[in-house]
């Protein structure tokens, strides 16, 4: 049990660091939120003061920090300076959308990269391998918004088949939801695939050079069986770690994609409110994003234990 | 005499591989275009021609990449934008490398509490998805190119710090460092002769990789409206402005995109070739 | 006279365009016979073994000579060889710690070998056979351990598993590439005894690759001594080791402690094994041979029959040399 406890403590420490950093960063941004939010014309000084007090912006910085951390530890993310809505609520509305986007993107990315990576590794050094690698390099060199533009051009302008912005909740209308989400998910998925293809290829190639692959071949089994049942199966283990890292990249990419496609997810929440200097919302959103990222990496570790019988055994023998 | 620059042999090996050769050629083209382009190309990136017969011209012999909604020459704008991207990315990575490497090496050498604090701080920074961090910093610095440089440098500091720290720890543990100490070498001399030259290669390799990401981040930030402001040309900004016209003038999105992709592909290819050439695991002929 | 099980005739192995790692190699193994392929590191013995089963590393090919099974020349690198691999000829490798797929249960790995050449077999029957095989290689509680993962086994036990896999389909030839080098001494003896017993029981021929003369002697009928990718001497093992015809074999014997008495000094062989170069025509061992003379440095030695089933390649044995063995 101590392993898990250590992990939890680590998580809290990192979260505190992140929270502090967010706080400091935001306060460093010049610009008074009250003035910005209210528009800069005809401000009545007294009204500004009242607004400040309401928002708690008249306290000293250390005081604000202490209040923030205190509230955090109680699970309270504060309220939006603009609308007064609970930050927790805003995030709870935006988070599932981002998760759906990320999930779909990851699935698309894996569906492309795993077979392509294996195919490239199998024919390493040939034209097919060079072609797949070249595509992957172009993939990682293209900014997400360019991919998005290309997809928009293809599907919305030329084919006129899909909408280019907006969002419909799944519960309301599953088909419309998917129609709106497919382009952003495809965008992110292609970005992810670019990175993952080369990683999968590398992982499979490394396995193909191992002794047990040679022994498998010596049994006289078909080469495809060697590739899939032996090399690829073992390659998934290091590959899964990379997928975890990729999750962070996906979260980054989601920001731009959500903004472009007007999808009301966490990323867009952040961008919109940074400009407005709505500190609590941004703080809360960034914090939640960082938590998700760390949780994903922990999840990857757990997945490792399932995929690799050696790890699970060692962990069990240590009494974790 | 310790050679600080990549040796001629290393350079040859980098560009001998197919990836390195293609990347090198592409990089040369990109650099020529960006640096020399404005001298050769006639158009002015800022000059507008608000006449119906001069706006939205498609790519043709007259205006090679066409003109945009304000009649500006797209080719000139793309070249200027490429120059900006390269300059900003290089500056940002250089700053990030300098600060990060100094921090990391310091942490590795000094150890103790300072080391632990630095490590935790870097970990916390890396827990942020990169773009979000960059956006926060860029907004903090206000509009304009300096914000971009600071933002991209900021996200690079933890990467270089971690690298420098792990390399420092490894080098300091080497027998030749202990030997130098026993022989009476002063700390500064040991650092100068042994630590810094050995840090060089991994940092440069990471630097090339970071350059390609820096260009992408810069493009993303300018797409979001941070960084240089209209009417100055920045590739991401141009694409954002062109989004509305994608139906009638797709070339306005196409050419800046090609500009970004060309730069990043070239940097990625050269960076990869560099990484392979300096990988100690590769068998030497 | 029936064709031998395996006949390697003047085989040359190498990367195209580079000097060969093995040249002009010939040996024979009859049904049920045991041949030891002996030599130092870099002598080409592993490459020869891999060539026979068709598992040469990328880039390497058999560039000359022939490999014959039952008298029929076979291209071991061709896809058709797959039908023989694991069925007529099988191999056991040196390092048991890395020879097994770490994420696959050992029972499944044995079953895989069985199903490769008997696709219609019922899964339960294959599993029973796997358990029988584990029993035959002396793994205790075979029925329980059949579902274990490789990391749950020690090195010696893993090597037993690889032997079980190799012998699953009763191959007629077993190639063992330094099967005991990575094991401790006690386990070495056990594993060797196991291989000896199983091969004898099924009349399996054995090609044993080793650098250990004692091992070769305890296990095999005939020996083939390699140096620098060339065959130096072959013959019945007892005779070759008692009265070697080739200076290299003699030097090897002097450099190894004899099992039966104490000696004051061991005589190492001066120099180092040759790097693979386009040496041109010369005896590969000439650089380190105490008996060399001018001809050794300018002409490849021609194999000379030294007995009904033995040969040696040394200029000393040529009648023209004027010097006797």
A141 and B264: CB-CB below 8 Å?
yes
Query: Tokens representing C202?
Result: 């099924």
Nearest to A143 among B120, B127, B219 (CB): B219
Strand ranges (DSSP E) for chain C?
6-14, 22-29, 34-38, 61-69, 72-73, 89-92, 173-177, 205-210, 222-227, 230-236, 303-307, 310-313
- Give Cα A252 to chain centroid, integer Å: 6
CATH number at residue B175: 1.10.3720.10
Confidence (pLDDT) at C280: 65
B interface with A, Cβ–Cβ < 8 A, is 120-121, 123-125, 127-132, 135-137, 139-140, 142, 212, 216, 219-220, 223-224, 236, 239-240, 243, 246-247, 250, 253, 257, 260-261, 264-265, 268-269
Residue listed under structure tokens 């008997």? C118
B223 and A256: CB-CB below 8 Å?
yes
Confidence (pLDDT) at A37: 58
Query: Tokens representing B168?
Result: 């420092």
* Residue B219 lies inside a defined structural domain of this protein: yes
C90 and A313: CB-CB below 8 Å?
no
A248 and B129: CB-CB below 8 Å?
yes
Q: Note the ipTM here.
A: 0.86
Query: Tokens representing B179?
Result: 């030997």
Residue of chain A whose alpha carbon sits nearest to that of C82: A220
CA distance A2 to chain C (A): 25
Burial class (CB in 10 A: 0-12, 13-18, 19+), B19: buried
C102 and A220: CB-CB below 8 Å?
no
The answer on pLDDT for B262 being more than 90 is: yes
- A 10 A CB-CB count for A318 gives 9
C interface with A, Cβ–Cβ < 8 A, is 53, 55, 82-87, 90-91, 93, 95, 98-104, 112-113, 116-117, 149, 151-152, 162, 165-166
Q: How far apart are CA B55 and CA B233, in angstroms?
A: 17
List the end-to-end C-alpha distance of chain A, in Å, as a whole number. Answer: 5
Domain of residue B263, residue span? 80-278
Residue of chain A whose alpha carbon sits nearest to that of B247: A157
- The residue ranking higher by pLDDT, B51 or B160, is B160
pLDDT digit string, tens, across residues A82-122: 777 788 888 888 889 999 999 999 999 999 999 999 999 98
* Residue B69 lies inside a defined structural domain of this protein: no
pLDDT digit string, tens, across residues A39-78: 555 556 666 666 666 666 666 777 777 777 777 777 777 7
B220 and A293: CB-CB below 8 Å?
no
Chain B contact set for A142 (CB, 8 A):
257, 260-261, 264
Q: Of A177, A168, A194, which is closest to residue A253 (Cα–Cα)? A: A194
Chain B contact set for A270 (CB, 8 A):
132, 135
CB B210 within 8 A of CB B280: no
A219 and C93: CB-CB below 8 Å?
no
Nearest to A220 among C104, C116, C152 (CB): C116
What are chain C's domains? Answer: 6-88+171-321 (3.40.50.300), 97-170 (no CATH)
Confidence (pLDDT) at C274: 63
Nearest to A211 among C83, C93, C113 (CB): C93
**A162 touching chain B per CB within 8 A:** no
Q: Which of C81, C82, C103 to mutate to test the interface with A (most CBs of A within 10 A)?
A: C103
- The residue ranking higher by pLDDT, C83 or A310, is C83
Chain A contact set for C93 (CB, 8 A):
211, 214-215
pLDDT digit string, tens, across residues B203-222: 888 898 899 999 999 998 88
Confidence (pLDDT) at A43: 54
Nearest to B239 among A28, A146, A294 (CB): A146
3-state secondary structure string, chain A? CHHHHHHHHHHHHHHHHHHHHHHHHHHHCCCCHHHHHHCCCCCCHHHHHHHHHHHCCCCCHHHHHHHHHHHHHCCCCCECCCCCCEHHHHHHHHHHHHHHHHHHHHHHHHHHHHHHHHHHHHCCCCHHHHHHHHHHHHHHHCCHHHHHHHHHHHHHHHCCCCCCCCCCCCCCCHHHHHHHHHHHHHHHHHHHHHHHHHHHHHHHHHHHCCHHHHHHHHCCCCHHHHHHHHHHHHHHHHHHHHHHHHHHHHHHHHHHHHHHHCCCCHHHHHHHHHHCCCHHHHHHHHHHHHHHHHHHHHHHHHHHHHHCHHHHHHHHHCCC
* Residue B227 lies inside a defined structural domain of this protein: yes
> Which residues, other chains included, contact B196 with Cβ-Cβ below 8 Å and sequence gap of 6+?
B4
Count of domains for chain B: 1
C101 and A230: CB-CB below 8 Å?
yes
Average pLDDT over residues C294-311: 80
When pLDDT is cut at 50, 70 and 90, the band that residue A221 belongs to is: very high
CB C304 within 8 A of CB C318: yes
CA distance A86 to chain B (A): 22
The answer on pLDDT for C275 being more than 80 is: no
Confidence (pLDDT) at B190: 74
Confidence (pLDDT) at A109: 93
The angle at the Cα of C277, spanning C276 to C280, to the nearest 5 degrees, equals: 130
Chain A, chain C: beta-carbon pairs less than 8 Å apart: 76
Chain A contact set for B265 (CB, 8 A):
137-138, 141
Mean pLDDT of chain C: 87
Chain B contact set for A275 (CB, 8 A):
139
The three-state secondary structure class of C21 is: coil
Q: Which of A124, A209, A214, A215 to mutate to test the interface with C (most CBs of C within 10 A)?
A: A215
The angle at the Cα of A229, spanning A225 to A231, to the nearest 5 degrees, equals: 100
CB C210 within 8 A of CB C37: yes
| pLDDT over 70, % of chain C | 93
- The residue ranking higher by pLDDT, A79 or C279, is A79
- The residue ranking higher by pLDDT, A169 or C82, is C82
Confidence (pLDDT) at C34: 93
Query: What's the length of chain B?
Result: 285
Residue listed under structure tokens 């005499």? B1
| Range name among A183-187, A218-222, B111-115, C260-264 with the lowest pLDDT average | C260-264
Nearest to B124 among A17, A141, A255 (CB): A17
Beta-strand relationship, C34-38 and C222-227: parallel
Per DSSP, what are the bridge partners of residue A79? A86
The answer on pLDDT for A300 being more than 60 is: yes
* Residue B196 lies inside a defined structural domain of this protein: yes
pLDDT digit string, tens, across residues A162-207: 777 777 777 778 888 888 889 899 999 998 998 899 899 989 999 9
Beta-strand relationship, C230-236 and C310-313: antiparallel
Query: Tokens representing C96?
Result: 């048991």
Q: Which of A137, A144, A194 to mutate to test the interface with B (most CBs of B within 10 A)?
A: A137
The answer on pLDDT for C223 being more than 90 is: yes
Confidence (pLDDT) at A50: 65
When pLDDT is cut at 50, 70 and 90, the band that residue A319 belongs to is: very low
CA distance A223 to chain C (A): 10
Confidence (pLDDT) at A31: 63
Confidence (pLDDT) at C261: 67
pLDDT digit string, tens, across residues B183-210: 877 777 777 777 777 888 788 888 988 9
pLDDT digit string, tens, across residues B81-122: 899 899 999 999 999 999 999 999 888 888 888 888 888 788
Residue of chain A whose alpha carbon sits nearest to that of B151: A25
Q: What DSSP designation does C85 have?
A: B
| Range name among A38-52, C2-16, C292-306 with the lowest pLDDT average | A38-52
| Range name among A7-21, A39-53, A239-253, B101-115 with the lowest pLDDT average | A39-53
What are chain A's domains? Answer: 96-317 (1.10.3720.10)
Chain A contact set for B125 (CB, 8 A):
21
Residue of chain B whose alpha carbon sits nearest to that of A14: B124
**C81-97 burial by CB neighbour count: b if 16+ within 10 A, else e?**
bbebbbbbbbbbbbbbb
């Amino acid at each position: 049990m101590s392993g898990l406890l250590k992990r939890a403590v680590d998580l809290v420490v990192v979260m505190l660091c992140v929270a502090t950093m967010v706080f400091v960063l935001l306060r460093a941004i010049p610009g008074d939120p009250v003035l910005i939010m209210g528009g800069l014309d005809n401000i009545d000084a007294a009204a500004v003061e009242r607004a400040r007090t309401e928002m708690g912006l008249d306290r000293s910085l250390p005081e604000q920090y202490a209040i923030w951390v205190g509230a955090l530890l109680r699970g309270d993310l504060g309220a939006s300076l603009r609308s007064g809505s609970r930050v927790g609520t805003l995030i709870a509305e935006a988070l599932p959308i981002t998760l759906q986007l990320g999930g779909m993107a990851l699935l698309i990315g894996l569906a492309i990269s795993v077979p392509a990576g294996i195919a490239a590794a199998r024919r390493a050094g040939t034209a097919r391998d060079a072609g797949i690698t070249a595509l992957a390099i172009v993939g990682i060199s293209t900014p997400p918004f360019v991919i998005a533009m290309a997809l928009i051009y293809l599907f919305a302008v030329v084919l006129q088949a899909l909408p280019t912005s907006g969002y419909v909740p799944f519960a309301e209308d599953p088909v419309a939801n998917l129609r709106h989400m497919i382009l952003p998910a495809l965008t992110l998925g292609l970005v992810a695939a670019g990175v993952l293809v080369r990683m999968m290829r590398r992982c499979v190639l490394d396995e193909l050079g191992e002794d047990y692959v040679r022994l498998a071949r010596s049994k006289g089994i078909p080469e495809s069986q060697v590739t899939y049942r032996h090399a690829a199966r073992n390659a998934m283990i290091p590959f899964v770690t990379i997928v975890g890292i990729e999750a962070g990249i996906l979260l980054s990419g989601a920001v731009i994609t959500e903004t472009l496609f007007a999808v009301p997810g966490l990323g867009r929440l952040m961008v919109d409110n940074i400009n407005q200097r709505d500190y609590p919302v941004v703080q809360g959103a960034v914090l939640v994003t960082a938590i998700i990222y760390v949780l994903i990496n922990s999840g990857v570790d757990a997945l490792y234990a399932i995929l690799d019988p050696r790890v699970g055994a060692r962990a069990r023998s240590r009494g974790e | 005499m310790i050679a600080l620059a990549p040796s001629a042999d290393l350079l040859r090996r980098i560009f001998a591989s197919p990836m390195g050769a293609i990347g090198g050629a592409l990089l040369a083209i990109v650099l020529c275009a960006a640096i020399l382009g404005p001298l050769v190309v006639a158009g002015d990136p800022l000059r507008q021609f608000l006449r119906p017969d001069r706006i939205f011209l498609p790519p043709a012999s007259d205006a090679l990449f066409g003109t945009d909604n304000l009649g500006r020459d797209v080719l000139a704008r793309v070249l200027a934008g490429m120059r900006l991207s390269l300059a900003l990315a290089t500056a940002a990575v250089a700053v990030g490398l300098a600060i990060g490497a100094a921090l990391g090496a310091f942490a590795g050498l000094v150890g103790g509490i300072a080391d632990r604090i630095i490590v935790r701080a870097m970990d916390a920074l890396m827990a942020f998805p990169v773009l979000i961090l960059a956006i926060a910093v860029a907004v903090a610095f206000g509009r304009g190119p300096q914000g971009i440089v600071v933002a991209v440098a900021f996200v690079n500091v933890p990467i270089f710090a971690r690298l420098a720290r792990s390399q420092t720890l490894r080098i300091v543990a080497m027998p030749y460092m202990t030997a130098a100490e026993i022989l009476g070498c002063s700390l500064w001399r040991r650092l100068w002769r042994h630590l810094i030259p050995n840090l060089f290669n991994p940092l440069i390799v990471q630097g090339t990789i970071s350059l390609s990401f820096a260009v992408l981040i810069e493009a993303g930030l300018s797409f979001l409206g941070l960084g240089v402001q209209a009417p100055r040309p920045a590739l991401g900004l141009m694409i954002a402005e062109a989004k509305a016209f994608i139906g009638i003038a797709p070339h306005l999105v196409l050419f800046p995109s090609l500009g970004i992709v060309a730069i990043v592909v070239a940097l990625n290819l050269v960076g990869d070739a560099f990484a392979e050439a300096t990988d100690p695991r590769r068998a030497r002929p | 006279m029936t064709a031998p099980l395996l006949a390697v005739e003047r085989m040359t192995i190498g990367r195209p365009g580079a000097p060969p790692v093995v040249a002009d190699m010939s040996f024979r193994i009859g049904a049920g016979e045991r041949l030891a392929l002996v030599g130092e590191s870099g002598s080409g013995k592993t490459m020869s073994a891999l060539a026979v089963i068709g598992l040469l590393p990328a880039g390497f090919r058999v560039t000359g000579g022939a490999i014959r099974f039952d008298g029929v020349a076979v291209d071991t690198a061709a896809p058709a060889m797959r039908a023989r691999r694991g069925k007529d000829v099988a191999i056991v490798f040196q390092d048991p710690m890395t020879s097994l797929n770490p994420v696959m249960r050992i029972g499944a790995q044995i079953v895989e070998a069985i199903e490769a050449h008997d696709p219609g077999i019922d899964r339960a029957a294959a599993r029973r056979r796997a358990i029988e095989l584990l029993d035959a290689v002396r793994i205790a509680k075979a029925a329980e351990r059949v579902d274990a993962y490789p990391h749950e086994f020690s090195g010696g036990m893993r090597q037993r598993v690889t032997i079980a896999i190799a012998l699953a389909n009763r191959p007629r030839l077993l190639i063992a590439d330094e099967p005991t080098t990575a094991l401790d001494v006690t386990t070495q003896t056990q594993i060797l005894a196991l291989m000896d017993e199983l091969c004898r029981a099924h009349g399996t021929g054995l090609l044993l690759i080793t650098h250990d003369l004692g091992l070769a002697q305890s296990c095999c009928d005939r020996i083939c001594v390699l140096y620098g990718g060339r065959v130096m001497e072959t013959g019945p093992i007892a005779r070759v080791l008692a009265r070697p015809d080739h200076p290299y074999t003699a030097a090897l014997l002097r450099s190894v402690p004899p099992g039966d008495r104490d000696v004051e000094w061991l005589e190492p062989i001066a120099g180092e094994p040759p790097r693979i170069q386009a040496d041109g025509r010369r005896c590969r061992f000439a650089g380190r041979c105490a008996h060399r003379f001018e001809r050794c440095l300018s002409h490849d030695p021609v194999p000379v029959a030294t007995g009904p089933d033995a040969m040696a390649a040394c200029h000393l044995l040529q009648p023209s040399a004027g010097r006797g063995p």
